[in-house]
Amino acid sequence: MYSVNSPHVVNIHDLRRVAKRRLPRVVFDYLDGGAEGEVTLRENCRVFDDVTFRPRHAVAFGNCDLRATVLGNELSLPAMLAPVGYSRLMHPGGEVAAARAAGKAGTGYILSTISGHKLEDVKAGSTGPVFYQLYLMGGRAAAEASIDRARRAGFAALVITIDTPVSGIRERDPRNGMVELLNPGLFQKIPYAEQFLTHPGWLLSFLKDGGVPPLHNVVLPGKGPMPLTDIGRALAASTVTWKDLTWIRQHWNGSIVVKGVLTGDDGHKAVDEGAAAIVVSNHGGRQLDCVSASLRALPEVVAAVNGRIEVLMDGGVRRGTDIVKALCLGARAVLCGRAYAYGLAAAGEAGVTRAIEILREDVKRTLVLLGCPSVAALDSSYVRIPKDWVAN
Ligand SMILES: Cc1cc2nc3c(=O)[nH]c(=O)nc-3n(C[C@H](O)[C@H](O)[C@H](O)COP(=O)(O)O)c2cc1C
C-alpha cells in the first residue's frame, strides 16, 4: 500500500510521483502523457504562471465559503472530477471509487463513455451529482441505449465531448505497448513484460480484477459490450457534429454540457444549440497539439458567451491557486483530470479523496491570503493578466 498522506504527499505532484511508482510505464504514460510534442500539455500548466494575484491585505472574515453551483448542483468546492477513460486500468476501483470519493467530498463526477464499470454502479456508488460523458462510438443505437440508461439511473447532465473526431496520437502509448496491453494475446505482450513484472502490486490487482474490462456502457445491438481494443477505430467512425445535438436532445431532456470549446465562435454555437454549459478544454493536451492552453482561451469564450450559459474549464489544474485563477477569469468551476487520476492510480478511493482534500485546502488558503471571503466573490480584480489576453 502506498501512502498518500502528509508528509509523503503534500501536493498533486507528490501524488503523481506515487502513481508513477505503482503503475507499469504503459499505464502511467497513458495517464500522464499528451499528444505529439506535448506542447499544449506543458502549456496548460505553465500558463497559470502568467496570471498573478492582486491580494487585499489586512482584511478579516470568518469561514471562507467555497461553495459553487453547477447546473443547479451545489458543490462543496468549485472543482468537479473530469471524465477519464480507462480509469479501471489505473485501479480496480476505477470509476466507482472516483465517483464515491467525489460524492463523499461533496462534489460531482463525470463518467467517461470509456468506462470499465457499469454506469448504474457508478451512479449508485456516489452521493453527489454524476454526469455522463457521451461519445457516439458504437453508433446511434448504442448511444441512445446508454442515454436511456443514464436517465433511468439518475445522471444529472449529459456531457458531449466535441474535440475527439479521431483519437490524438499520444506518442508514448505505441512505444510502451498500449495496444498490446489492451489486446487479449499473451504472446504480443512479451516484449513489454518487464514493466509488468517490476510492478507486481499493480499486476496482481489487474489480474484479480479480470484483466482488461469491456466497455459496459457501449452495448452493441446483438453483440454486447464493445471491447476496449476497438476504441480508436470506433471514435473515428463516430464524429459528433453540432447537428447531432438535435437528436441527442430528443433522447435527453436534461442539461447538456458541451466539452472541448476553445474559441468564442464555438461558444456561440453551443449557446445556439441549447447547451446549458460548456467546458473550455483541450482534452488535457491529448488531442490537437499546439492549441491554446485552456486558461488562455477562457477570456475569449467567457466574453462570447456573455453569461448566457455556464462556463467551466479544465486543463492543467494542479493547485488551488490554479482553480482560483480560472474563477477570477470567469469560470464557474473547474474540472480536474490528472490531478485526481494520479490519486486514483496511487491508492484508489483514498488517493482521490486525498487529491480533493489537497485542492480544497489550497483554495481555502488562497482565498484567505487574497482577502476574499468566498468563491462567489472572486473576479478579475483579484488578478493581473497579460494585456493581450482580453483583446482577441
Ligand atoms: C487519462 C485520461 C483520459 C481521458 N479520457 C477522457 C474521456 O474519455 N472523455 C473526455 O471527454 N475527456 C477525457 N479526458 C480529458 C479530461 O476529461 C480533461 O479534459 C483533462 O484531463 C483536463 O486536463 P488535466 O488532466 O490537465 O486536468 C481524459 C484525460 C486523461 C488524462
pLDDT in tens, 133-177: 999 999 999 999 999 999 999 999 999 999 999 999 999 999 999
The amino acid at residue 167 is: S
Which residue matches cell numbers 476501483? 93
- Which DSSP helix (H) or strand (E) runs through 342? helix 338-347
Per the rule left: phi > 0, alpha: psi between -120 and 50, beta: everything else, 138 is: left
Asked if the model's pLDDT at residue 236 lies above 80, the reply is yes
First-last CA distance in the chain = 49
pLDDT-derived band at 391 (thresholds 50, 70, 90) equals low
Which residue's alpha carbon is nearest to atom 30 within ligand 1? 84
Q: Which SS3 state, helix, strand or coil, does residue 258 take?
A: strand
State mean pLDDT over 339-346. 98
Sign of the torsion angle spanned by Cα atoms 167, 30, 34, 311: positive
Asked if the model's pLDDT at residue 231 lies above 90, the reply is no
Sign of the torsion angle spanned by Cα atoms 311, 317, 322, 323: positive
The number of the ligand 1 atom at minimal distance from the alpha carbon of 82 is 17
How much distance in Å is there from the Cα of 84 to the middle of ligand 1?
5
What pLDDT score does 185 carry? 85
Query: Exposed e or buried b for every residue in 6-23, given b needs 16+ CB within 10 A?
Result: eeebebbebbbebbbebb
What pLDDT score does 370 carry? 98
Domains by residue range for the chain, with CATH: 12-386 (3.20.20.70)
**Structure-model confidence comparison of residues 32 and 235, the more confident one:** 32
Which residue's alpha carbon is nearest to atom 8 within ligand 1? 85
Residue pair 27/90 in contact (Cβ under 8 Å)? The answer is yes
Mutational test site, ligand 1, from 46, 84, 352, max ligand atoms within 8 Å of CB: 84
Tell me the average pLDDT of the chain.
96
Residue pair 130/108 in contact (Cβ under 8 Å)? The answer is yes
Q: Which of 233, 226, 205 is nearest to 142 (CA)?
A: 226
- Range with the poorest average pLDDT among 1-5, 75-79, 268-272, 298-302: 1-5
Asked if the model's pLDDT at residue 2 lies above 90, the reply is no
Catalytic-residue membership of 283:
yes
Which residue's alpha carbon is nearest to atom 12 within ligand 1? 83
- Number of Cβ within 10 Å of residue 198's Cβ equals 11
How far is the C-alpha of 39 from the C-alpha of 290, rounded, in Å?
A: 6
pLDDT-derived band at 65 (thresholds 50, 70, 90) equals very high
Question: Of all residues in the chain, what percent carry a pLDDT higher than 90?
Answer: 93
How far is the C-alpha of 90 from the C-alpha of 87, rounded, in Å?
A: 5
Q: Which of 65, 86, 245, 69 is nearest to 156 (CA)?
A: 69
215-220/224-226 β-pairing: antiparallel
What pLDDT score does 373 carry? 97
∠ at Cα 355 (296, 173), nearest 5°? 70
Torsion angle of alpha carbons 192, 197, 202, 203, nearest 10°?
A: 80
How far is the C-alpha of 173 from the C-alpha of 168, rounded, in Å?
A: 11
Q: What is the pLDDT of residues 83-138, one digit of tens each?
A: 999 999 999 999 999 999 999 999 999 999 999 999 999 999 999 999 999 999 99
Q: Which residues pair with 110 in a beta bridge?
A: 131
CB neighbour class for 52 (10 Å; exposed up to 12, middle 13-18, buried from 19):
exposed
| Contacts of 241 by beta carbon, 8 Å cutoff, 6+ apart | none
- Range with the poorest average pLDDT among 94-108, 185-199, 287-301: 185-199
How far is the C-alpha of 343 from the C-alpha of 318, rounded, in Å?
A: 12
Q: Which residues line ligand 1 (CB under 6 A)?
A: 30-31, 44, 82-85, 112, 114, 133, 161, 259, 281, 283-284, 286, 314-317, 336-339, 341
